[in-house]
Chains A and B, each alone.
Chain A
Amino acid sequence: MTATAERPLARPANRRIPLAAAGRLVRLELRRNAMLWMLPVVGALFWFLTYRRSVALPPMWNVRAMSMQGTTIAVFMPTVVGAAAWTGSREVRRNLTDLLGVTSRPRWARQLAAWFATAAWALAGYLVCVGALYAVTARQAAWGGPLWWPATIGAASLPALAALGVAAGALVPSRFTPPLAAVGTFVALEASLELVHSAASPGQISPLVAGPWNLGNTEGLATFYRYLPDLPIAQLIFLGGCTAALLGILGVPAGAGGRWLRGSAATLAVAGVVAAGSAVGLAGTGHLDPHGMVAIPALHDAADDRAVPYTPVCSQTAIPICLHPAYSVYLSALAGALQPVLGDMAGLPGAPARISQAPVTYREHDQGIEAVVSGRSASDVASVYWIVLPNQLAGPSMTVAESAAAVRERTARGIVAAVIGDGSDQAQRAVTAAILGTDDLPPGSPVAAAAQRFAALAAAARHAWLQAHASDLRAGRIALEQLP
């Protein structure tokens, strides 16, 4: 007689797994969602409009991440809103309202599943696109790590845009709703930028705003000092509030669900409106901090005002040129542009021991934002000569070569003036022209002839003569005829 093994009890057929039905609904929505088929279009637009433009910018996290925020949201906006409106109007478009009205799931749950699927696909596409751009930037950037706040704002915008589309499609279920909602949202956000006139404008709450008004892709932001998260935090609150309000509004109409569900939806909508309104109010209390970011007192952490520690990168020139490591792409061009002058000036009385890059200070006035050289960056030739790269200042962006030429124009003349004088007599003018290689002296004049003679000397001879006579030259005790 053999003992029969005891068979395990079968799982009861009616055992319920919490949220299993909701999971199935979401899975169905994910498989059927229109946003999935829009992703190739969005990817192509991202490549054409955002990626190509971003990788053409200097490989600095602040520049690329902050310029990416607005254009990426603009690329995703029409497609996400349109696809969500298309999905939101589906029940009415397909005349399924009565049929689905008798199912066990409330209408709000179905709409939330549709919103979730649209937002999830949009987010997946966004992560791939932004991930590719960040990966390329990580390989190219010389210093620092990814700026996550701009990417986070973009990611938080997508659920809000999807909620807007689903609400538009559900409330106005027409075939014309998706395109009009898509373009209308674009117009509305474009119009919101018109309201931004200062760092205290409530309109800065628009997710398209990545930095201070009217400053552009200034390289001086978020390098010497931290990226201030004040405005992004307010934008996150606003986007979260908008999402909650729009989703809550969907659940309020009769037929969206039971009394308890509709009450919860109304509460969610009110909470969302309060949060969004508070965020707009917070953005209106902002001001431009000296380091060029928007500071909001209620959200500001004083620890973010500290300078970011860094080890400068220096050139091997006769007088070392030291830059913030984020700007190391400029170093070789600067060294090449300044090397001839630095070779002549090195070791002379009055010449700096080092050329260093200084941060700039930002000031807001009626006409816009002005980036000015901060106090320590004035020409202080005691030991360090402070320079500012043109792209740290507000204005048109320059290439590396253009920046090097502009710095050479200012810096070389400044250093030479500190060593041999500001050109108040003819000998000083001749030597300055010879060292800088300029041809602004009157042709055929004795000064021009002396400059040509001095420039023709061997570098060692010129340096030796300057070593012996620089103090006298600066004091005006050398006549033109005494030049070698």
Chain B
Amino acid sequence: MTRLVRLYLASRRTPMAAAALIMCALVLRAALSRPWDAYGALQLPLLFETACACVIAVATASPFGELERAAGRRLPWLRTGTTTGLVAVAAGALCAAGIGTHLDGGGQSVIRNLAGLTGIGLLCAALLGGALAWTGPAAYMLIGIYGLYRQWHGPALDTPWIWPARPPDDVSAALCAGLVLAAGLGAAAVRGSRIRPE
């Protein structure tokens, strides 16, 4: 079992993904240590949350396809466990990066946005394949930035589906992001990343 997990993690390049997530958090920390104008301060966390979500989504694919299908029925658990673990690493690293600095929206907003963006990435992985799964979070990032712009300039967008533009304690926005993450985790667990030649 341990060997299966180790091989699974290696085939998905999970260690490299975790290193990339920590690198994103370190760059965010470095960026937050300097003063930003209002736009920069609002947008910065969302950009790094998107980068982390993209990395997690891309890490769902194996260059050899889903060979573990033939090895038993544990594959959905492996997929879910790996993805959940990477989300936890990303959330922890990004929240830690914000300690002692002004992270707009705080940790609550980071976790909500990361969850929703990762859900979009996982859905894209199931539809397009892991290698192109980053396109969904990257596109949603632009919509989120537009939402933040409208929050600044008005009239603000009040749909909870554009959750980055909602306050951190907005329950409906958190629910929407959670729903998208649940759908993404479900799709990733059941179908995995779409197999296509890289």
Stretch at the interface among B105-113, B132-140, B177-185: B132-140
B55 touches A179 (CB 8 A): yes
What residues of chain B lie closer than 8 Å to A117, measured between beta carbons?
none
A47 to chain B, nearest CB (A): 12
A204 to chain B, nearest CB (A): 15
Flag whether B54 is at the interface (Cβ < 8 A).
Answer: yes
Stretch at the interface among B35-43, B65-73, B82-90: B35-43
Mark interface residues in A143-181 (1 if CB within 8 Å of B CB, else 0). Answer: 000000000000000000000000000000011101110
B51 touches A184 (CB 8 A): yes
CB-contact partner of A38 in B44, B51, B54, B135, under 8 A: B135
A175 touches B61 (CB 8 A): yes
A176 touches B17 (CB 8 A): yes
What residues of chain B lie closer than 8 Å to A75, measured between beta carbons?
142
B138 touches A93 (CB 8 A): no
A68 to chain B, nearest CB (A): 14
A194 touches B40 (CB 8 A): yes
B54 touches A180 (CB 8 A): yes
What residues of chain A lie closer than 8 Å to B55, measured between beta carbons?
176, 179-180
Near A by CB (< 8 A), chain B positions 30-59 give 31, 36-37, 39-40, 43-44, 47-48, 50-51, 54-55, 57-59
A92 to chain B, nearest CB (A): 10
Tell me, in angstroms, the Cα distance from A34 to B197 when the chains sit together: 13
CB closest residue in chain B, given A216: B153
CB-contact partner of B47 in A38, A45, A79, A186, under 8 A: A186
Flag whether B95 is at the interface (Cβ < 8 A).
Answer: no
Flag whether A193 is at the interface (Cβ < 8 A).
Answer: yes
Tell me, in angstroms, the Cα distance from A45 to B138 when the chains sit together: 11
What residues of chain B lie closer than 8 Å to A184, measured between beta carbons?
51
Flag whether B146 is at the interface (Cβ < 8 A).
Answer: yes
Q: When A41-B135, A41-B139, A176-B20 are in contact, do A93 and B198 touch as well, CB less than 8 Å?
A: yes
Flag whether A182 is at the interface (Cβ < 8 A).
Answer: yes
CB closest residue in chain B, given A196: B37
A262 to chain B, nearest CB (A): 29
A175 touches B135 (CB 8 A): no
Mark interface residues in B124-157 (1 if CB within 8 Å of A CB, else 0). Answer: 0000001110110111011101100000000000
Flag whether B13 is at the interface (Cβ < 8 A).
Answer: yes
Flag whether B96 is at the interface (Cβ < 8 A).
Answer: no
Tell me, in angstroms, the Cα distance from A48 to B139 when the chains sit together: 11
Flag whether B190 is at the interface (Cβ < 8 A).
Answer: no
Flag whether B4 is at the interface (Cβ < 8 A).
Answer: no
Of the four ranges (under 10, 10 to 19, 20 to 34, 35 or more), the interface on chain B belongs to: 35 or more
A48 touches B138 (CB 8 A): no
A74 touches B13 (CB 8 A): no
A362 to chain B, nearest CB (A): 21
Tell me, in angstroms, the Cα distance from A461 to B142 when the chains sit together: 62
Tell me, in angstroms, the Cα distance from A49 to B143 when the chains sit together: 7
Flag whether A191 is at the interface (Cβ < 8 A).
Answer: yes
What residues of chain A lie closer than 8 Å to B134, measured between beta carbons?
82, 178-179, 182
A179 touches B51 (CB 8 A): yes
Tell me, in angstroms, the Cα distance from A34 to B143 when the chains sit together: 22
Flag whether B99 is at the interface (Cβ < 8 A).
Answer: no
B197 touches A94 (CB 8 A): yes
A82 touches B16 (CB 8 A): no
Q: When A175-B13, A175-B131, A180-B51 are in contact, do A82 and B143 touch as well, CB less than 8 Å?
A: no
Tell me, in angstroms, the Cα distance from A75 to B138 when the chains sit together: 10
CB-contact partner of A180 in B20, B37, B130, under 8 A: B20
Flag whether A86 is at the interface (Cβ < 8 A).
Answer: yes
What residues of chain A lie closer than 8 Å to B58, measured between beta carbons?
175-176, 179
What residues of chain B lie closer than 8 Å to A194, measured between beta carbons?
36-37, 40
Q: When A86-B131, A175-B198 are in contact, do A183 and B51 touch as well, CB less than 8 Å?
A: yes
B197 touches A183 (CB 8 A): no
A45 touches B16 (CB 8 A): no
B51 touches A78 (CB 8 A): no
A78 touches B138 (CB 8 A): yes
Tell me, in angstroms, the Cα distance from A194 to B37 when the chains sit together: 7
CB-contact partner of A48 in B17, B137, B143, B198, under 8 A: B143
Flag whether A187 is at the interface (Cβ < 8 A).
Answer: yes
Mark interface residues in A81-112 (1 if CB within 8 Å of B CB, else 0). Answer: 01000100000011000000000000000000
A94 touches B54 (CB 8 A): no
What residues of chain A lie closer than 8 Å to B36, measured between beta carbons?
194
Q: When A175-B13, A175-B58, A183-B47 are in contact, do A78 and B142 touch as well, CB less than 8 Å?
A: yes
B133 to chain A, nearest CB (A): 8
Tell me, in angstroms, the Cα distance from A190 to B37 when the chains sit together: 11
B69 to chain A, nearest CB (A): 21
What residues of chain B lie closer than 8 Å to A48, measured between beta carbons?
143, 146
CB-contact partner of A179 in B27, B37, B61, B138, under 8 A: B138
Tell me, in angstroms, the Cα distance from A1 to B86 when the chains sit together: 90
Tell me, in angstroms, the Cα distance from A79 to B136 when the chains sit together: 10
What residues of chain B lie closer than 8 Å to A191, measured between beta carbons?
31, 40
A190 touches B40 (CB 8 A): yes
Binding site for A on B (CB under 8 A): 13, 16-17, 20, 27, 31, 36-37, 39-40, 43-44, 47-48, 50-51, 54-55, 57-59, 61, 63, 130-132, 134-135, 137-139, 141-143, 145-146, 197-198
21 residue pairs from A and B, CB less than 8 Å apart: A49-B143, A74-B145, A93-B198, A174-B16, A175-B58, A175-B61, A175-B131, A176-B13, A178-B131, A179-B55, A179-B57, A179-B58, A182-B134, A182-B138, A183-B51, A183-B138, A183-B141, A187-B44, A193-B40, A194-B36, A194-B40
Binding site for B on A (CB under 8 A): 34, 38, 41, 45, 48-49, 74-75, 78-79, 82, 86, 93-94, 174-176, 178-180, 182-184, 186-187, 190-191, 193-194
| Known A75-B142, A183-B47, A187-B27; further 7 A-B contacts with Cβ < 8 A | A45-B143, A49-B142, A78-B142, A179-B134, A182-B54, A190-B47, A193-B40
